[in-house]
Structure 1
């Protein structure tokens, strides 16, 4: 069933651990989210996406699930969740959960049973292999978080597969019992009234027969050709849709790790009835050459334009994309693509103009609406992210980088940047908690916080609110046909969107200097829908732009 409510809607991602702490234990919780529902409603967002809230030992902050049908005690109770869901719906918003179906926790009962013996009925819930003749792992696969993707179990003298941490064993989707376990967990939440799922690393669930060695190529290519897009993947996705999702007024959003624009249609083509939409990683990783921490490259606007275009062309009228510029796995959007110092507010607003006018369902990550920025962690003792810690510890062994350089890379690209507590006010810990936060609060909360911006008409927060309301009122933002203007301009991004008689022109300056653009369209009678400055200047065919200026004209 092709739904429309999720297409025009705006998704707001909540990372519960860092959103709002209601009981001052330093960890965000469900009641903390309930307390902020009026705030979320004021943003004009439509769908709340919660990163995992299920029972977990937190080796990877909830992405290692020990019980798919219970709430992590740190976050509250099932009664708290039921209240959150009901009040979210009462306020006209929807709620989706983060489904982690590629792997679970090694503390899940399934894995505890599987480790007891080779003939245990749960053994085949996971991927087990005998050692190579030399006693080493079955192949050369590497974990996303560094090191081998295989962990040796001394009791059974076999290895189990974990594409992430060793406490996150991969589930064996070849086993129909595993699939039915996941489907039953989905039904549990959908029967409660949950509106859908964001599906974590879902392209990885089908493993290649024989577990062939990965070629000696970049890690990105290995993900695409070895870990993702396995031989039975689309069979599983069709089955999931047929048995579960299509029976509810719900939608599925895939985390598109390993998916490229050429095979995206296999996932989201309407006629295939697999997934409703996906977000890809090409924008999120456009400054990362070959995997986080390995090698980065300067931001290239023409490259970003090319990425947007190839994905638009790939799914045009055949499928639907989610439009994400940041999430819990990447450094802060304004720090990566804008200027988080001299032109902090201007660049944050300009980037949101771009994001809100690209095709696809808009995804906002918590804190971006106030321009939260990267944090500087002073020592490895302040790092909490398992991926960053593994990188630092591996580097300590290889000594490829100095400790200072390794920490600098973590501060630039590490996931803790996006996970610092939301900055609600200028009081202790930014109003997140009276207790010591699980992760250091960014010291700039004194100047960057919700309370300070709430009543400031020129703030980033109110810019988001205004632009989201305008987007709701103008379908051309969501559904308009896209035409690039001046594609090869490396500092200014200009495009037109047209839907029937509606037409907008978007002009964005990505430089911290003044710029200009020759525009052939007649803007003399156009209405300025949005402008992140209180001025603009047109002389003949030339529009003059301030540093990081962004405008939307309605023609």
Structure 2
């Protein structure tokens, strides 16, 4: 598999830096903390760490409001700390992916301060400014993803500026070639420091309709949804010209060996796959979030896999995500027992998997008291359950008072189960979900059929999802029971024998069975075809 580029055969591990490891007692994770915990990442067996934003920021949206694209936010450390982290990660065979946020900057970025200073500023056109409508209202009806209008009026210059998220996050004007050049220079700054790639935030939003036309109403809007869902993002997202920008970004990365460009894209699959670009010159991995949104049943998941595989362009490499810093944790969505089955699904499908920190120990959604809420989205649209704090809580390392995360007061509450569900305790338990992740990853790394082999559907009947992975003469079968009751699955091939390589219960390895396999409730098996 060494002939296959690392990001195709590898596994990405997302770290939310505020919550991974604090080393100075301020209750907020830092770069030195990530560096000190690299052994855990290496022992897990993944290939790359993706670090959510660490750039200089006022933290209005916890790093997704960047005030300096080539600086490190002091609460996380220094450039020297970053360089040590990259060196130590590379020394362990780990790649480092940074979270790049190009759609918008902070309103405290020097570019925006200059842009805001005057209508005649040389950087006025670096952002999107427009006059009010005749009645003084905003230029159009667009709604911020965090609620409220996407426009804020600037009294000093008498115009509105666009912000797709918070007013503290003004949108950059990617139709301006000077903006593009400055951003590509920022990418090169980090590539020159050894960064192995970028996950690009909200990549599908970067270009807006040139005429800034109103978005049409969404006929399917429901009152429990976010306010932004009232409109269809016809003119504020997924514009044809965005592919030109992504192709240019790709050219920047292609000047460096084996770098990866990952795009955050929440779009239907038929639109998602266009982000691979013409002739494969777009994002290497347009993030596929379907497992975050598809109903947890065998038929729905099988149909989704089939549709995704069929939609991929020639040469397009698939990828899968089960959890991230914006969506409820998998253990909360499907329960602790099914979280083990979900891990097996994620790590045996064809394509690059992304594992969210804490999912390897089964961390769940943590309820945040109203007085402890940090997320600006929750503050803007309370009561809708949109807050992201519950999935960003500190990593649970041990049973100590700060869960091994901090000696101070953690920035978000610890999970109530941190005394029993933590790395130190689960590492010593050969039946734990942590042990399962380690063994699944080791099996994937050692088995070309699982890492890079073809995908073949077998069955989606009742609660059972079964599929095969093939590489050369090797055929691996994965059988997953997505329900609590026992089930039997036929794997085909009269007279064939199947040897269990790994089970979610970690207790059936070596068992040999015929074409009919009995699955316990909430159980998954990885089997090798022996004949």
Query: What range is the shorter-chain TM-score in?
Result: over 0.9
How far does residue 256 in structure 1 lie from its aligned partner after superposition?
1.6
How far does residue 542 in structure 1 lie from its aligned partner after superposition?
4.0
Unmatched tracts of structure 2, length 5 or more = 222-227
How far does residue 546 in structure 1 lie from its aligned partner after superposition?
1.7
Q: Encode CA deviations 1:242-295: one digit per residue, 9 max, x unaligned.
A: 24443443110111223x3223443215724122111123322336xxxxxxxx
> After alignment, is 229-238 or 180-189 more displaced?
229-238
Aligned equivalent of 2:329: 332
Give the distance between the partners of 1:390 and 1:543, measured in 2 at CA: 51
How far does residue 165 in structure 1 lie from its aligned partner after superposition?
0.8
How far does residue 540 in structure 1 lie from its aligned partner after superposition?
6.9
Aligned equivalent of 1:124: 125
> After alignment, is 24-33 or 233-242 more displaced?
233-242
Q: Encode CA deviations 1:170-213: one digit per residue, 9 max, x unaligned.
A: 00011111001100100000001111101111111111121111
> After alignment, is 19-28 or 131-140 more displaced?
131-140
- Secondary structure of 2:525 counterpart: strand
Aligned equivalent of 1:552: 526
* Alignment pair present for 1:532 and 2:522: no
Aligned equivalent of 2:445: 472
How far does residue 514 in structure 1 lie from its aligned partner after superposition?
2.5
Contact preservation (8 Å) 2:111, 2:123? yes
How has the CA–CA distance of structure 1 residues 522 and 30 changed in structure 2, closer, same or farther, with 3 Å as cutoff?
Answer: farther
Contact preservation (8 Å) 1:330, 1:414? no
Give the distance between the partners of 2:145 and 2:233, measured in 1 at CA: 13
Aligned equivalent of 2:380: 390
Aligned equivalent of 2:224: none
Contact preservation (8 Å) 2:397, 2:403? yes
Aligned equivalent of 2:467: 495
How far does residue 240 in structure 1 lie from its aligned partner after superposition?
2.1
Find 2:455's aligned residue among 478, 482, 493: 482
How far does residue 221 in structure 1 lie from its aligned partner after superposition?
9.7
Aligned equivalent of 1:435: 408
> After alignment, is 234-243 or 203-212 more displaced?
234-243
Alignment of 1:88-99 (within 5 A): 88-99=89-100
Give the distance between the partners of 1:235 and 1:541, measured in 2 at CA: 50
- Secondary structure of 2:161 counterpart: strand
Aligned equivalent of 2:517: 543
Contact preservation (8 Å) 1:504, 1:553? yes
Provide TM-score, normalisation by structure 1.
0.89
How has the CA–CA distance of structure 1 residues 490 and 66 changed in structure 2, closer, same or farther, with 3 Å as cutoff?
Answer: farther
Provide TM-score, normalisation by structure 2.
0.93
How far does residue 506 in structure 1 lie from its aligned partner after superposition?
0.8
- Secondary structure of 2:24 counterpart: coil
Contact preservation (8 Å) 2:200, 2:262? yes
> After alignment, is 468-477 or 239-248 more displaced?
239-248
How far does residue 443 in structure 1 lie from its aligned partner after superposition?
1.2
- Secondary structure of 2:70 counterpart: strand
How far does residue 479 in structure 1 lie from its aligned partner after superposition?
2.5
Aligned equivalent of 1:516: 488
Aligned equivalent of 1:262: 270
Aligned equivalent of 2:290: 282
How far does residue 458 in structure 1 lie from its aligned partner after superposition?
0.9
How has the CA–CA distance of structure 1 residues 146 and 523 changed in structure 2, closer, same or farther, with 3 Å as cutoff?
Answer: farther
How far does residue 115 in structure 1 lie from its aligned partner after superposition?
1.1
Aligned equivalent of 1:319: 316
Aligned equivalent of 2:338: 347
* Alignment pair present for 1:309 and 2:306: yes
Q: Encode CA deviations 1:95-154: one digit per residue, 9 max, x unaligned.
A: 010010111100101111111110011111100111112211111111111111111111
Counting matched residue pairs gives: 517
Aligned equivalent of 1:69: 70
How has the CA–CA distance of structure 1 residues 530 and 6 changed in structure 2, closer, same or farther, with 3 Å as cutoff?
Answer: same
* Alignment pair present for 1:228 and 2:237: yes
